[in-house]
Amino acid sequence: MNTELPLKNNVKDVRLDLNITQAELAETVGVSRNTIVSIENGRYCPSAKLALQICIALNKKFEELFFFENDESEKTTEI
């Protein structure tokens, strides 16, 4: 059984580029730091509401942060 989540994300890379800690992002969006860790590591798929809050906090569009695994190859060729 495949336990890997189909929705991938760039949250960690974007957060680090913006010099925001996991704790700061967690506080901004109203979740625990452990939740942010789990999202970044792909162990937890955020709800649509939480994903939107993360997008707002990081000032990014949804598709800049979240994507399905097969979309990643398309992004690479666009860059």
Cβ atoms of residues 68 and 8 within 8 Å:
yes
Could you give the number of structural domains in the chain? 1
pLDDT tier for residue 77 given thresholds of 50, 70 and 90: very low
15-58: pLDDT as tens digits: 999 999 999 999 999 999 999 999 999 999 999 999 999 999 99
CA distance 70 to 73: 6
CATH of the domain at 58: 1.10.260.40
Determine the 3-state secondary structure of 12 from DSSP. helix
Give the domain range for residue 52: 7-78
